[in-house]
Structure formats: structure tokens, C-alpha cells
Chains A and B, each alone.
Chain A
């Protein structure tokens, strides 16, 4: 190790430079996260929210509410599903293709990811049902976004 390989910076200065780079990187991460959040975060809405101020068609949202009694209609091929979600004040029509969770049934809470189509029907890409069958939403206003108790989203918080 001769002078040839000796770096030019003093140790203290290099520490300073590294600290500055780290700060810049973290700020950059924050900005990147903020811009991605603006586009990708899905707002949680209830049928009342949709009635009051309908979201843009195609924008990802998360709809929560109760499946209205007698509203579930299955398509002839056995795979499509249409039903109505209510929060007691307003209702939203939901369409879904696929296998619903075991605990999805009428008059029980559910959360769906998806977006509105041009006709105002919520097209769900994923449906979650309340995990505990004894569960009844205490009041529909503060309903189920506690993802803990959703079948599917997690294997329970108890890992």
C-alpha cells in the first residue's frame, strides 16, 4: 500500500460524503414512494361514499359493506356472481367472476377490491369476507378494513 493506492479523501470527509449520499437516497425514496402512493393507493369507500361522490371509473378502490339479503345472483356458467352491497343508507351493485371466500354469504360483511365501470357497477377483482362467522359489524360506518380478520389477506397476525 503505497501513496499510489491512497484515496484522496480524509476519513472524516468521506464519512460526511457518505452521510449526505444516504440522506439524498432516503429523500429520493420518500419522493418515489409519495408519487407511487398518489397513483396506487386504493381508497376505502362505502356505498354511501359512492352515492355522494362517485369515484372515476377504472380507479382502484376498496369497497366495504354488507351483502344485501336475497341479492346474490349467479350466472349460468356457475362462475359469475352479481350482488348488492349496502351500508344501510345506500347500495352499490357488484359484479365478480371467480371463487368467493367460504364465509361470503348474504347479510354478512365483505370487502372487495376493484373499480367502478362506466355503468356504475363495481367490478371486483378480489373479495374478502369476514373471517369469523360470528362477526357482525357493530356499526357499518367503521366496518371491516381490519385486514386481520379477513380471510385471505393474512395467515392471521400470529406468525
Chain B
């Protein structure tokens, strides 16, 4: 019954989305009676979102009960799984993750419908209309091409189980976090569409859009940071970013959202870059859709695997072409109707933010091309792979240019400024970073040029990013300035971590017998024992390692080789030892002749700064969000007092 209820709820939600779209776009009409029904878009949006949420609840219930008469559960779950993985398994598959995606889209609509009171009603209803049209396409996809509630008859005695790589607490948090980011950008997209349809994009529009951009960006940042750490400890390769298509799929919306975040602040504060902001809002969500759906359709991995399920693939491609093409066509047709905003001199805060946007767009283009080039090549008949060498070489220098811009950009005044006015210390930092980079290249011959530049620029930025706090009372500094400083400081921290990891990592590959000792960096590591261990749904061979830092106190590590029973798969579980100076990373390999075991050890100085930086960046975004919402509330309060 639960499955049927879920399906029914989905159909009802889709029907309400049709009404929501009609009511929303009615607000754009010139005829009074149509405009009169447009306020209905708000309650419809709330109801639609709630129904979708309820359908998602049904799916979770089915997974928690392991109802094997439902095809999706039988294919992806198993009754012997820990409950957290049953719960998270609801979205650890294609159909379930689509439903999660739609649910979050619905929550976005609810947010707009309930909280947006500042913006002109016709823009709000047009926005809700656009949001409903987005949802409708994906309801259609879910209902016609990937029904999560399809039954299986007869029910099998046991489910097929969940991929062991996914049996990790990370699965419970990672996809929802990323999806909140992806779909939060849909709200910005809908606002942009609404503003273009209404022919009006002013500061109020940018202020309405900003919270959703901030929310999406914070979650994307957290999602990428967590995903990177997950891949780092789960894959056992000692790397934290692989330039894998799935990773790029989350990076591309983040790059676009970062650009959007900065341009929307120009529009909200100075009324400039209106068309630019609208364009970026369209691009950002387009990247989200391309990211989620092209990856899910299997197109990214291979044209061949795409053809395995042509219905879904073609459906997704048509939807994407419709939405992205439609939005861009609308931009071409309507942007002339949106009046140009305020202008600014080239040397100004706006100018620096335009520069930031351009560099981010260039990186985005490079990542996009690198990610899709293999598909284009495959369609032309030859096959190749594009890996880290391409991305590091093409995007690395641009990213470092972006960091250099961060030294001075935040110190510039709005509208017009002179470079000579900037504090000497900012230039000094930039100069020291430059000299430091050269010195590092000379002194650390082992390191390549990019890590050296990264270390120098990161170190300089760690100081330069604090400069906006100087020459003012810290207590009267606005929370939004603190937010910016924290986020930019986070960039410096992450960059230092990346560069330090690239430049100073020590690696040891060795085969040891129990009782033998090896060294890696400042560590002495002894293999003490190899023992079998048993987990809830796996068995493993576990290595006992005793590590001493510089002959100090011993600490134990337990890397494992795990064998899962359902489905039968082996994974390697790395063991990590975290110190403030860095991480010791141990992977157990295969047994070799004469009773030895392969062991791979890394000492990664300050590698944790990468993720700490990511968290700081997200924290800056969160603080900014809180401050903005607080400001809005105060302004509203004020308006109510002045105009009763």
C-alpha cells in the first residue's frame, strides 16, 4: 500500500505543479482577472512541495521496512543492512535520488512562496511559475521513465544489496547536501526567469535571489568538501581530488555559483551587472542540471553505456535542451527589456568582481571542455581520457591568478578607486608571495612550480585576506565583512593545504613481515600483526600497525581489506592518523611470497587544511546568510513601523 500511496502522491504533486505554473504565469497577463488568480501560486507551491516530500517519505518507509515487492528496494537493499544504510539507501540509486532531487526542488518553491515578501508580486508569481515548469519536467521523467515505486512480482526472498563503497555514513549526508546545493540554484534560476518575463531586474530582485544563492553555495561547498574527504579516505589512493567526471559535475555548478554569489552582491549593493547576474543564474543551474543528469544518464562515462537505457537518456537530453535552450533564448529575447544598471570605473570593487567572474568563468569553461571532450571524441570514433595533467595545467594558473586578485580586490571601493590608495601591506604581501614563490622553486627542487606558487600565494593571502578588518573598529565591522574575510581566509587555508600536500608528501611502498619496521617521513611504522576481523555484513583482514612520530609515543592503526557478502565485493579501508602537522595514511595491500604484506604509507603534512579551508569558506557563506536575513527582518520591521 505504501508504494501505491507514494505513486498517487507523486501524480497529485505533478497535477498541482500544472496549476502552479498556470497561476504563476497568469500574473504576467495584462488582464485583471488573470492577475487576480496569480496569488494562488503561493499556496499551490507549498502544497506541491509537501506532497512531494510525503512521496519521498513513502520511499524511505519502504526502504526501512525492506519491502522486497518493490523493484527498487529489491535491487538496491538487503534486510541484513544496518538501518542507517537502509535509510540512506533510499537515495543511493537512480530513481530514489531523482525523487530526492524533486523533493528539494519542492522545498525551494516552498521557501520562495512563504518567505519572499519584498519583491513585486508579479515577479514572485512568475518565479513560482518557472519553478513549477522545472518541476513538471522532472515529475514527467520520474513518472514515465524511472518510477521509484514500481512493483516486482513475485517478490524475491532477498535483496541484491547496496554497493559496499556506498556503505558508509558519508552516503547519508553527502548526496542530500550536494542536492541542496544543486537545487538551491534552481531558485536563483527561476528568479532570473521571473525577472526576465516581468522585464524588471533591480536591486530588490538581486536581494530576493541572494539568500537562495548563499544557501546553495554553502551546501555545495560543504558537499564538495565532504565528498573530497570521503573519496580521500574511502578510495585508499591518498588523493583528495581526482578530476573525475562525477567530481567535476559538482565543481562546475560551484564555480558558476561562486561567480553568481559575487555578481549578485554587485547588483544588490550597487544595482550594476544586472544582465550579468541573470546570465550567471541561468548558467549556474544549467551546470547543476548538466552535472546531475548527464552523470546519472551514464552519458559521461561512455556513449555506449548511455545507449543501455535510451529512453531515460533521451528524456534527460530533451529536458536539458528544453530548459537550458529555453532559458538562453529567453535571455536573448528579453534582456534588452531589462534596463541597464549603474556603471562603474574599471578600477573599483565592481571591476575586481567582474575580474573574479571572468576568471571563474574561464575555469568553468576549461573544466566543462575537459569533462565533455572524451564524449565528443568518442562520438567521432576515437577514445581518450582527460585526467589531472590537463586540468592542473589549464586551470591551475588561472586559479592562482584568481587568488592573486583576492589580495587587492576586497580592499577596493565601490564605483571608482585608485590602486595607489590601497594599503602598502597588500602590495607587500603580493610581492613577498611572488619572491617567495621564486625562492621555493629554487630551494625545493622536488616540488613543481604550481605547489610552490600555491604555498606562496596561500601564505600571502592568509594575511592579505584579513586586511579588510584593519583601520576600523572590529566591533562595528558588519557581519557581512566578517563573512567575506572568513571565506577568503578559508581559501588561503585550503590552498596552503593543497600546496603542502603536493609539495611535501612522503610516500613509502614496501612489503613487510609481522615485526618488521619501516619509515615514512618522520614516522617509524611497525607491522605488528595481521588478523581476521568480522563486521556486520563483511569480513576483513586487518593489519596492526604501530606508528611512532620521531621515536615518540606509539599509536596504532588498523588498515583493512574488507570482503562484503552482498554483493560479493572487496574494498580496501585505509587507516588514518591525524596530527595537527598532518596525516599518516596507511593502506594494506596484497600478501606476497614469504609471508609478507604489501603496505603503502603516506605522510601528508598539513593535508587537513584542505578540508578545514573548505569548512571555513562555507562558514563565511553561512554567516553572510544569517546577516542578510537578519538585515531583511530589521528592514521589514522598520517599514512596518513607518508605514502602518
Chain A contact residues, CB within 8 Å of chain B: 5, 7, 9-12, 14-15, 18-19, 21-22, 25-26, 28-30, 32-34, 36-37, 39-44, 60, 62, 74, 76-79, 97-100, 102-103, 113, 131-133, 142, 145-148, 152-159
Chain A residues positioned under 8 Å from B273 (CB to CB)? 18
| Interface contact B571-A102, CB-CB below 8 Å | yes
| Interface contact A74-B592, CB-CB below 8 Å | yes
Q: How far is the CB of B470 from chain A (nearest CB, A)?
A: 24
| Interface contact B354-A18, CB-CB below 8 Å | yes
Chain B residues positioned under 8 Å from A79 (CB to CB)? 509-511, 592, 598
| Interface contact A78-B163, CB-CB below 8 Å | no
Chain B contact residues, CB within 8 Å of chain A: 92-94, 97, 163, 165-166, 174-175, 178, 227, 230-231, 234-235, 237, 242, 244-247, 250, 273, 275-276, 295-296, 298, 301-302, 304-305, 339-345, 354, 358, 361-363, 365-366, 369-370, 373-374, 377, 382-387, 389-390, 393-394, 398, 415-416, 509-511, 561, 567-572, 587, 589-590, 592-594, 596, 598, 600
Additional 20 contacts, C-beta under 8 A, given A25-B358, A148-B305, A157-B246: A7-B343, A15-B340, A36-B390, A36-B393, A40-B393, A41-B373, A42-B386, A60-B389, A77-B511, A99-B587, A99-B590, A102-B561, A102-B570, A132-B567, A133-B569, A142-B304, A145-B385, A146-B298, A148-B298, A159-B250
Chain B residues positioned under 8 Å from A34 (CB to CB)? 369
With A79-B511, A152-B235 as contacts: A26 and B383 at CB distance below 8 Å: no
| Interface contact A44-B384, CB-CB below 8 Å | yes
Chain A residues positioned under 8 Å from B245 (CB to CB)? 147, 154
Among A29, A131, A157, the residue within 8 A (CB) of B361 is A29
Chain A residues positioned under 8 Å from B165 (CB to CB)? 155-156
| Interface contact B343-A14, CB-CB below 8 Å | yes
Identify the interface centre among A9, A100, A158: most chain B CB within 10 Å of its CB: A158
With A7-B415, A9-B343 as contacts: A157 and B295 at CB distance below 8 Å: yes
Chain B residues positioned under 8 Å from A9 (CB to CB)? 343
With A7-B345, A158-B97, A159-B246 as contacts: A43 and B386 at CB distance below 8 Å: no
| Interface contact A32-B244, CB-CB below 8 Å | no
Which residue of chain A has the shortest Cβ distance to B96 in the bound complex? Answer: A158
Assembled-state Cα–Cα distance A74/B592 (Å): 8
Assembled-state Cα–Cα distance A69/B370 (Å): 36
The 10 A-B residue pairs whose C-beta atoms are closest, nearest first, are: A78-B592, A78-B511, A11-B340, A99-B589, A29-B365, A102-B570, A40-B390, A36-B394, A44-B383, A29-B362
Interface pairs (23), CB distance under 8 Å: A11-B339, A22-B358, A30-B365, A32-B394, A34-B369, A37-B370, A37-B386, A37-B390, A40-B386, A41-B374, A42-B387, A44-B385, A78-B511, A79-B598, A97-B509, A99-B600, A133-B568, A145-B301, A145-B385, A148-B298, A155-B235, A157-B246, A157-B295
Chain A residues positioned under 8 Å from B370 (CB to CB)? 33, 36-37
| Interface contact B572-A102, CB-CB below 8 Å | yes
Which residue of chain A has the shortest Cβ distance to B373 in the bound complex? Answer: A37
Assembled-state Cα–Cα distance A19/B383 (Å): 36
Among B174, B296, B339, B598, the residue within 8 A (CB) of A157 is B296
Q: How far is the CB of B406 from chain A (nearest CB, A)?
A: 18
With A33-B366, A43-B382 as contacts: A146 and B244 at CB distance below 8 Å: no
Assembled-state Cα–Cα distance A62/B374 (Å): 13
Assembled-state Cα–Cα distance A7/B276 (Å): 19
Identify the interface centre among A15, A97, A133: most chain B CB within 10 Å of its CB: A15
Q: How far is the CB of A43 from chain B (nearest CB, A)?
A: 5
Assembled-state Cα–Cα distance A153/B243 (Å): 9
Assembled-state Cα–Cα distance A148/B250 (Å): 16
Chain B residues positioned under 8 Å from A99 (CB to CB)? 509, 572, 587, 589-590, 598, 600
| Interface contact A42-B384, CB-CB below 8 Å | yes
Assembled-state Cα–Cα distance A99/B415 (Å): 57
Chain B residues positioned under 8 Å from A98 (CB to CB)? 509, 600
| Interface contact B231-A155, CB-CB below 8 Å | yes
Assembled-state Cα–Cα distance A10/B339 (Å): 12
Assembled-state Cα–Cα distance A46/B594 (Å): 35
Chain A residues positioned under 8 Å from B509 (CB to CB)? 79, 97-99
Chain A residues positioned under 8 Å from B302 (CB to CB)? 145-147
Which residue of chain A has the shortest Cβ distance to B342 in the bound complex? Answer: A11
Chain B residues positioned under 8 Å from A28 (CB to CB)? 362
Assembled-state Cα–Cα distance A62/B296 (Å): 24
Assembled-state Cα–Cα distance A100/B384 (Å): 22
Q: Is the interface of A mostly helix, strand, loop or mixed?
A: mixed
Identify the interface centre among A76, A131, A148, A155: most chain B CB within 10 Å of its CB: A155
Chain A residues positioned under 8 Å from B178 (CB to CB)? 159
Which residue of chain A has the shortest Cβ distance to B378 in the bound complex? Answer: A145
Q: How far is the CB of A13 from chain B (nearest CB, A)?
A: 8
Chain A residues positioned under 8 Å from B596 (CB to CB)? 78
Q: How far is the CB of A105 from chain B (nearest CB, A)?
A: 10
Q: How far is the CB of A98 from chain B (nearest CB, A)?
A: 6
Identify the interface centre among B178, B242, B301, B370: most chain A CB within 10 Å of its CB: B301
Chain A residues positioned under 8 Å from B594 (CB to CB)? 78
Assembled-state Cα–Cα distance A50/B245 (Å): 27
Assembled-state Cα–Cα distance A18/B390 (Å): 29
Chain A residues positioned under 8 Å from B571 (CB to CB)? 102
| Interface contact B384-A43, CB-CB below 8 Å | yes
Chain A residues positioned under 8 Å from B385 (CB to CB)? 41-42, 44, 62, 113, 145, 147
Chain A residues positioned under 8 Å from B587 (CB to CB)? 99
| Interface contact A25-B386, CB-CB below 8 Å | no
Assembled-state Cα–Cα distance A123/B577 (Å): 32
With A36-B393, A102-B570 as contacts: A159 and B362 at CB distance below 8 Å: no
Assembled-state Cα–Cα distance A29/B394 (Å): 9
Assembled-state Cα–Cα distance A36/B358 (Å): 19
Chain A residues positioned under 8 Å from B365 (CB to CB)? 26, 29-30, 33
| Interface contact B305-A152, CB-CB below 8 Å | no
| Interface contact A43-B383, CB-CB below 8 Å | yes
Chain A residues positioned under 8 Å from B305 (CB to CB)? 146, 148
With A32-B394, A41-B386, A99-B590 as contacts: A152 and B344 at CB distance below 8 Å: no
Chain A residues positioned under 8 Å from B341 (CB to CB)? 11
Assembled-state Cα–Cα distance A148/B379 (Å): 18
Chain A residues positioned under 8 Å from B92 (CB to CB)? 158
Q: How far is the CB of A106 from chain B (nearest CB, A)?
A: 14
Which residue of chain A has the shortest Cβ distance to B92 in the bound complex? Answer: A158
Which residue of chain A has the shortest Cβ distance to B387 in the bound complex? Answer: A42
Assembled-state Cα–Cα distance A45/B231 (Å): 27
Assembled-state Cα–Cα distance A133/B393 (Å): 36
Q: How far is the CB of A148 from chain B (nearest CB, A)?
A: 4
Which residue of chain A has the shortest Cβ distance to B242 in the bound complex? Answer: A153
| Interface contact B568-A18, CB-CB below 8 Å | no
Chain B residues positioned under 8 Å from A32 (CB to CB)? 362, 366, 394, 398
| Interface contact A7-B561, CB-CB below 8 Å | no
Identify the interface centre among A28, A30, A32, A39: most chain B CB within 10 Å of its CB: A32
Assembled-state Cα–Cα distance A147/B473 (Å): 54
Chain A residues positioned under 8 Å from B304 (CB to CB)? 142, 146
Among B301, B369, B384, the residue within 8 A (CB) of A33 is B369
Chain A residues positioned under 8 Å from B295 (CB to CB)? 157
Assembled-state Cα–Cα distance A12/B174 (Å): 44
| Interface contact A10-B166, CB-CB below 8 Å | no
